[in-house]
Homo-oligomer: A and B are copies of this chain.
Amino acid sequence: MEITENSRYGSDQRERVINPELFGLISGGLMIDTIIWEDRQKTNHQEAASCVHILDQTKLPLETVYLECTHWEQVADAISRMCIRGAPAIGVAAAMGVALGAQGSKAEDFSELSKELEVICQGLSKTRPTAVNLFWALDKMRRAAESMGNLTIAQIKERLRDKAVQMWQEDIDICRRIGKHGADLIPEGASILTHCNAGALATAGYGTALGVVRAAHSQGKNIRVYADETRPFLQGARLTAWELHQEGIPVTLITDNMAGHFMSRGKISVIVVGADRIAANGDVANKIGTYTVAVLARENGIPFYVAAPRSTLDLSLSSGADIPIEERDPNEVTHFHGYPIAPAGVVAAHPAFDVTPARYVTAIITEDGISRPPYNESLAK
């Protein structure tokens, strides 16, 4: 990957607007990259250093701003504040965070570096609890580092950087395979309801649920997407509608509470959502409201598909009851862009995810194909 405008960067400049075209198109047709790794060369003005550019999704669609992270703590902060979100994207960001932390290390031997990496992994692991891809990515990086005891510090730093970039590139490939498998489930003329954003922005590129949509669209199928706006963060309105609108895939934005109405009126033919963690029995944790969509789907006889990479499977958990559900700040419910929408002092709740029991899930689409119930058997394969 090439970054052509290094000279424009100042190391103290954490937030800036960039022209995404300068970064090349690596995300499979999207005009915008979710996350970018940059190797900075030594110049007269700065030391050699690495930088992770993270598209600040809290500002979309009104502003396209990249956060410039030169320390792993900035990556952790970007994950915590949902500047980057979506299980696969969080995984890639965490891997890049570890690699970035390694680059910045002053450790002089393997033991010292290992201790630093453990601190970094611990720090990144505390950012968000539900998406298992975060822990999966940290585990991969941790194991990779552990196997490098015979290398020099410089070599380890380079290998960890390569590993993170490889996971980023693989994620795009995985999404394309998910899309290909999933597209077979989308009939010509389908109206596809989706919840939240499981798109290019939720991954390194292309998307999981929206990867299925993109693949069906690129096969020439005449489809329309109904996008739940997905309160309180409005990922559907701000991100899903934006991605699809940019690519000319027909999309209708609705509030979350309209999904049932359109299902009951026969307007929705299929549902595809992403996932943040899937237990061994097929229970699916995903953005708050997914359970509701699934119940409505079954009530109306509409297939409900979950699209996610294998890295979202957590076969160590026998059911969704064991998946930790993140509780976020209630102010994210009571305020909109700093503007209060509820009376001062009112109590609000903000569970960020819910669990959809496997009995509502028609099939799970991974890069390896389509899994159907009973999931204890099909997912184990």
Binding site for B on A (CB under 8 A): 61-62, 195, 228-232, 234, 237-238, 241-242, 245-246, 250-262, 264, 288-289, 291-292, 295-296, 299, 330, 333-334, 336-337, 339-343, 345-349, 351, 354-355
Q: A288-B258, A296-B292 are in contact. Are A349 and B231 (CB under 8 A)?
A: no
**A contacts with B: majority SS:** mixed
Q: From A347, which residue of chain B is reached at the shortest CB distance?
A: B252
Given contacts A241-B343, A345-B245, contact A255 B299 (CB under 8 A): no
Task: State whether A255 touches B232 (Cβ < 8 A).
Answer: yes
CB–CB A339/B340 < 8 A: no
Contacts of A257 in B (CB 8 A): 195, 228, 230-231, 256-257, 288-289, 292
Q: Report the Cα distance A24→B285, complex, angstroms.
A: 52
* Contact present for B333 and A229 (CB under 8 Å): yes
Q: A245 with B343: in contact, given A231-B231, A253-B334 (CB under 8 Å)? A: yes
Tallying the copies of this chain within the complex gives 2
List of B residues within 8 angstroms of A347 by Cβ: 250-253
The answer, among B255, B337, B348, for a CB contact under 8 Å with A231, is B255
Contact status B253-A333, CB under 8 Å:
yes
Question: Which chain B positions have C-beta within 8 A of A253?
Answer: 330, 333-334, 342, 346-349
- Known contacts A260-B292, A343-B241; decide if A333 and B254 are in contact (CB<8 Å): yes
A246 and B342 alpha carbons, distance in the complex (Å): 12
Cross-chain contact of A295 among B231, B254, B296 (Cβ < 8 A): B296
Task: Indicate if the CB atoms of B342 and A258 lie closer than 8 Å.
Answer: no
Among B237, B288, B339, B343, contact of A337 (Cβ-Cβ < 8 Å): B339
Q: Given known contacts A342-B61, A343-B241, is B256 in contact with A256 (CB within 8 Å)? A: yes
Q: Give 8 pairs: A residue, B residue, CB < 8 Å, sorted on A.
A: A232-B255, A241-B342, A242-B342, A252-B347, A253-B348, A255-B289, A260-B289, A295-B296
Q: Give A260 to B342 CA distance when docked, in angstroms.
A: 21
A355→B333 CA distance, assembly (Å): 27
> Inside 8 A of A349's CB, which chain B residues have their CB?
252-254, 258, 262
The reply to whether B256 and A342 form a contact with Cβ atoms under 8 Å apart is no
Bound CA span A339–B241, Å: 16
